[in-house]
Amino acid sequence: MKVLNLILAVLFILFAVVQYNDPDPWGWAALYLYVAAACGMAAFGKSNKFMLILGLGVSAIWMLTLLPDFIHWVQMGMPTIVAHMKAEAPHIELTREFLGLVVCMSALGWQWYRLRKSQKA
């Protein structure tokens, strides 16, 4: 698991680095670095339950703000959001952000699950 957690940490650091051209880079860079830190800490057996729950909570609240736009995208028939790098319509950027939060929550949720599992053993 150490190697996988280190790979995840590096990936999330790279996600943060490429936020420089995003319309709202600071929030995303901060979240991605937060997830990278959680994965890095897990790699060295230093997971923090409070940190994971806080990250999950922030991500969930942020995700709820984007949920109406995600639902709208689904109702539109899920048109492509990857055809162009530049988000030419609002639903493209907002759907990508929603899915980015799904990725963050998946990583944090997995870390929380692994921590709980190790504490029970």
Residue with the two structure tokens 């420089």: 20
What does pTM read for this prediction? Answer: 0.91
Burial class (CB in 10 A: 0-12, 13-18, 19+), 6: middle
CA atoms within 13 A on the CB side of 83: 8
pLDDT of amino acid 87: 63
- pLDDT tens, position by position, 44-85: 999 999 999 999 999 999 999 999 999 999 999 998 888 776
Q: Are the beta carbons of 9 and 43 closer than 8 angstroms?
A: yes
How many structural domains does the chain have? 1
57: number of Cβ within 10 Å: 11
pLDDT given at position 99: 94
The whole domain housing 36 covers 2-120
